Structure 1
Amino acid sequence: MKTQSELTPLKKLLKPWLSADIDNVMVSCLTLDSRNVVKDSLFVALQGACLDGRSFIDKAITQGASAVLSETSNPSQHGIITYLAGVPVIDIYQLPAILSPLAYRFYFPQQNVHNVVAVTGTNGKTTIASLLVNCFTLLGKKSAQMGTIGNGLFGELKSSLNTTLDALSVFAELYDYQQKQVEYTVMEVSSHGLSQGRVSALPFHSAIFTNLSRDHLDYHGSMANYGAAKKALFTEHAVKYRIINSDDATGKAWLKEFPDAVAYGFNVQSVSKGQSYLSISKVNYQAQGVDFKFESSWGAGHISAPFYGDFNVSNLAAVLTQLLLENITIAQLEAIFPKLTSVPGRMEQYYFAKKDITFVVDYAHTPDALEKALIALQKHKSSGRLICVFGCGGDRDKGKRSEMAKVAENFAQKVVLVDDNPRSESAEDIMEDILRGFNQARAVMKIHDRKEAVLFLLTNSLPGDIVLLAGKGHEDYQIIGDKRLHYSDRALLASLRKEQYKDLNKADL
């Protein structure tokens, strides 16, 4: 919230969309939630899918709102002002479309927002964002992160329900970071956020594209629509630098369309004359991570980092490319990458020494992400089996359930199905959908309770086994029916690792 001396005249704020006689109305903050209204707030009342914000106008005024913007679907009502208890309530046609530019005008009237890096794609967004902020911090550059695992300064994240916040909250967060002298914010930008215009007015310092694979078809309807939503970041938004993964088929096509973009990937082939690039080669897979060599438009280098799999090498390449664009030297990068910390719930290891069993927690919840995680662990595994534990969310894309099954059957030696977030669907029905994708369904175990599955595997797995516990990652909850229950794979494994175990009779596995 702005201080009294920083209050913004409502008339000035709305000038691009409305010329109205609303003198002497001042605004301290913007909010979509009537519960957050304080003195001099501008309350924005949208016709939401579940709740109609207009039904909370009286409450907002009672709590101190100085004005209200009320969404109308009738263009002839645009600009009509009525007064409730002396507070102007202004009808705005297509109100959602102006929220991002409205918030930008309010929080950054001088258009002086610090450097914001956008990361989009199906997989890898959270890892790239986290590692990039980690790097900036190690380099002495104060940084913040916005995305799936939370929002805030490095090491001080607050949880978030959405990957990309609503249009008003995006700029409120950035304003808060700017007051704290942040130099860079790295933001995960989802396809939903792009489609809904949540960042439409935000000028990006750079945009990174990771890959495109099946996800969110329940919302977008088709892969073409899903890809178009992602591409909008590069075509419809202000972006200084474009960084695109050349290993991805969609990325390779986009690189031909954007000759000013920087290509990164494995053994990058030139896609246009003079295009900047970073090419990975000679990857070594070790027990504690990877090391690889790279060549680039900025020179050659050798990187070591405590991460697993080709997809994390790709993520590291994206981070390297961004940092090289910031004129960070290769010598500096070679020094800081071994110091990077693991990303919560992203290929996070829990090793049980007495059993010689490794559990790996990962957020993989798409066929592509699951395949990459399993392939990565196969490369790092020296003995034992690879066991895949996963489920699928309810009320989401049902088509991917059988595809997840095929991936698990092809790349793991044993599969255990568990519940993810069943939501309003029957957990048993979800498992039956998944089972239809297996050729050998009888070999698949079903243990609905995730904790029970972990305890069973900890007792019955064999020395050298690696257990991939996929789907939940950093999440500390499960949604069952209409209840959000506390549960965390990470917390469970951390707790179990501290305990002593009694040897139980081994069951057939």
Structure 2
Amino acid sequence: MPEKPQLMSLTALLSPWLDVDFENILLSGLTLDSREIKNGSLFAALQGAQLDGRTFISKAVDCGAGAVLSETKERSEHGLITLQADVPVIQIYQLGSLLSELAYRFYFPEQNLHKVIAVTGTNGKTTIATLLANCLNLLGKQSAQMGTIGNGLFGQLKSSLNTTLDAISVFSELSDYQQKNVDYTVMEVSSHGLTQGRVSALPFHSAIFTNLTRDHLDYHGSMENYGSAKKVLFENFPVKQRFINADDATGAQWLKDFPDAISFGFNAKPLTKQQRYLRVEQVEYHGQGINFSFQSSWGQGAISAPFYGDFNVSNLAAVLTQLLAENISIKQVETIFPRLTAVPGRMEQYYFAAEDITFVVDYAHTPDALEKALSALQKHKKTGRLICVFGCGGDRDKGKRPEMAKVSEDFAQKVVLVDDNPRSESAAEIMQDILKGFNNKALVTEIHDRKEAVLDLLDNALPGDIVLLAGKGHEDYQIIGNQRLYYSDRELLASLQDTYNKNNKADL
């Protein structure tokens, strides 16, 4: 097992930016959080949008920090040093933009980083990352995962507040995985993470682009800015392989921009002699999942997997293409795909046999994701209605609220509006914004409490109905005002399944 990173002198760490004589100060770790200070830690005090880390410098020193880097916005102050209780406090110009490289230097001073695969795009990141890590494990390769549903070795994830961790935590986690002999880490990389430089120094092995649809416009301002933020991963990073979805309009354009990119999807084909491809062909939808055949630069084959919908065909195609590019044989992937397990909160089924009602929990919280989830379930539904349960988050893009209403009305026969992290907004006003997007409000029921909505549907849904419970997916909380309340769609349905099954057995 590789040794843990050695202590690094402050002089060595800062040498690319400053010539300082602090060889006697040996750093044990890096952190942005003064509460995580351990003896000898370097505390990075950033001027954040909501918190100014500089106000916690005294606390960090009291807790045993070996040194402090304090962000300054004035170039003339760069390199100024003061002492606080004999601890050096060093002014660093635009420290936030340097954190990724600082963390990389500290956690990987000599050893090579294992292979890190980036997955970016609006939808599909978590599914692709999870399935790819799952496949690698089944192939006998130790894998880790970083993203929306957590970070850690595959199957041992710890929850995370952000899709992409802060710059220091990214490399701290990767260092931990390296000590555990991980061969691959599959990382979801968000547009926020790219724009804010959280992974700017990370030498990715490969990058996968899923699609670009409306999301995060409250942050990026326009779809053009949003797309440009994603494209940075493919333009500015020294990735060895670029995998791009040929079925997405943005992806199709990027395939023209990158002559060595690898395309996947229903419309995949080589645009240059350098480009490799994987084209999906005949798809069959059935009660247990999907089957599809493919043609590729590596040969042809057929895949069977326990998932639903065209978007999961696309997700599986991305995973398949990455594996083939890693010299995994077609025979091997054909063997492992049927053994893949469901991704938490992604089209996850809960069947109530006595009632003949199926609930499907999915993270869909954008118009595009909701449309894909509903259209997928339509193809697999045999009898009954398709019922859509969803809400929209507060303090987020208001423009998507009527759009999601239109999607649900187009694809579902009944809609139930519920709360989905209203935050500081009025839940009632959010519902009114959503209602504006419906032409036929008669098919809509409003039940703010998600648990009450599920119980109501269990009592009143018809045999054969499929209920899409959208928005929360893997999340185990509901944010109302400033309160983060514990709640999980998945846990609720699992508990109800147990209760209903016991009651039904008691009736026999």
TM-score band, normalised by shorter chain:
over 0.9
Matched, 1:215 2:227: no
Q: 1:408: which partner in 2?
A: 408
What does residue range 28-427 of structure 1 map to in structure 2 within 5 Å? 28-110=28-110, 112-427=112-427
Q: Number of aligned pairs?
A: 502
Q: What is the SS of the residue equivalent to 1:242?
A: strand
CA–CA distance in structure 1, aligned partners of residues 202 and 169 of structure 2 = 12
| Structure 1 residues 328 and 19, CA gap change in structure 2 (3 angstroms) | same
CA–CA distance in structure 2, aligned partners of residues 417 and 14 of structure 1 = 53
Q: What is the SS of the residue equivalent to 1:321?
A: helix
TM-score by length of 2: 0.97
Q: CA deviation at 1:110?
A: 1.8
CA–CA distance in structure 2, aligned partners of residues 276 and 270 of structure 1 = 6
Q: What is the SS of the residue equivalent to 1:303?
A: strand
Q: What is the SS of the residue equivalent to 1:283?
A: strand
Structure 2 unaligned blocks of 5 or more: none
CA–CA distance in structure 2, aligned partners of residues 66 and 240 of structure 1 = 38
Q: What is the SS of the residue equivalent to 2:133?
A: helix
| Structure 1 residues 455 and 74, CA gap change in structure 2 (3 angstroms) | same
Which amino acid counterpart does residue 304 of structure 1 have in structure 2?
A: S
Q: What is the SS of the residue equivalent to 1:490?
A: helix
Contact 1:202 1:238 (C-alpha < 8 Å) held by counterparts:
no
Contact 2:167 2:199 (C-alpha < 8 Å) held by counterparts:
yes
Which amino acid counterpart does residue 297 of structure 1 have in structure 2?
A: S
Q: 1:437: which partner in 2?
A: 437
Q: CA deviation at 1:3?
A: 8.8
Matched, 1:476 2:476: yes
Which amino acid counterpart does residue 308 of structure 2 have in structure 1?
A: Y
Percent identity, aligned pairs only, is 73
Relative to structure 2, which stretch is displaced further, 440-449 or 210-219?
440-449
Which amino acid counterpart does residue 461 of structure 1 have in structure 2?
A: A
Contact 1:105 1:111 (C-alpha < 8 Å) held by counterparts:
no
Contact 1:3 1:28 (C-alpha < 8 Å) held by counterparts:
no
CA–CA distance in structure 2, aligned partners of residues 262 and 374 of structure 1 = 29
Relative to structure 2, which stretch is displaced further, 487-496 or 23-32?
23-32
Q: CA deviation at 1:19?
A: 1.2
Q: What is the SS of the residue equivalent to 2:240?
A: strand
Which amino acid counterpart does residue 377 of structure 1 have in structure 2?
A: L
Contact 1:267 1:281 (C-alpha < 8 Å) held by counterparts:
no
Contact 1:291 1:304 (C-alpha < 8 Å) held by counterparts:
yes
Which amino acid counterpart does residue 301 of structure 1 have in structure 2?
A: G
Q: 2:459: which partner in 1?
A: 459
CA–CA distance in structure 1, aligned partners of residues 475 and 364 of structure 2 = 12
Contact 1:309 1:379 (C-alpha < 8 Å) held by counterparts:
yes
Q: CA deviation at 1:74?
A: 1.1
CA–CA distance in structure 2, aligned partners of residues 30 and 232 of structure 1 = 26
CA–CA distance in structure 2, aligned partners of residues 140 and 500 of structure 1 = 39
Q: CA deviation at 1:111?
A: 5.4
| Structure 1 residues 3 and 37, CA gap change in structure 2 (3 angstroms) | farther
Q: What is the SS of the residue equivalent to 1:377?
A: helix
Alignment RMSD: 1.3
Q: 1:500: which partner in 2?
A: 500
CA–CA distance in structure 1, aligned partners of residues 294 and 173 of structure 2 = 36
Q: CA deviation at 1:5?
A: 8.3
CA–CA distance in structure 1, aligned partners of residues 443 and 305 of structure 2 = 37
| Structure 1 residues 409 and 55, CA gap change in structure 2 (3 angstroms) | same
- Provide Cα deviations, 1:331-365, integer angstroms capped at 9, x if missing partner: 00000000000000000000000000000000000
- Provide Cα deviations, 1:270-299, integer angstroms capped at 9, x if missing partner: 433442000001100010100110110000
- Provide Cα deviations, 1:87-118, integer angstroms capped at 9, x if missing partner: 00000111000000000000011251000000
Q: What is the SS of the residue equivalent to 1:421?
A: coil
Structure 1 unaligned blocks of 5 or more: 504-509
CA–CA distance in structure 2, aligned partners of residues 212 and 433 of structure 1 = 24
Q: CA deviation at 1:268?
A: 2.1
CA–CA distance in structure 1, aligned partners of residues 112 and 153 of structure 2 = 19
Contact 1:104 1:111 (C-alpha < 8 Å) held by counterparts:
no
Q: What is the SS of the residue equivalent to 2:358?
A: strand
CA–CA distance in structure 2, aligned partners of residues 487 and 176 of structure 1 = 30
CA–CA distance in structure 2, aligned partners of residues 500 and 130 of structure 1 = 31
| Structure 1 residues 160 and 4, CA gap change in structure 2 (3 angstroms) | closer
Which amino acid counterpart does residue 227 of structure 2 have in structure 1?
A: G
Q: CA deviation at 1:238?
A: 1.6
| Structure 1 residues 265 and 296, CA gap change in structure 2 (3 angstroms) | same
Q: What is the SS of the residue equivalent to 2:145?
A: strand
Q: 1:507: which partner in 2?
A: none
Contact 2:263 2:269 (C-alpha < 8 Å) held by counterparts:
no
Which amino acid counterpart does residue 137 of structure 2 have in structure 1?
A: T
Relative to structure 2, which stretch is displaced further, 21-30 or 255-264?
21-30
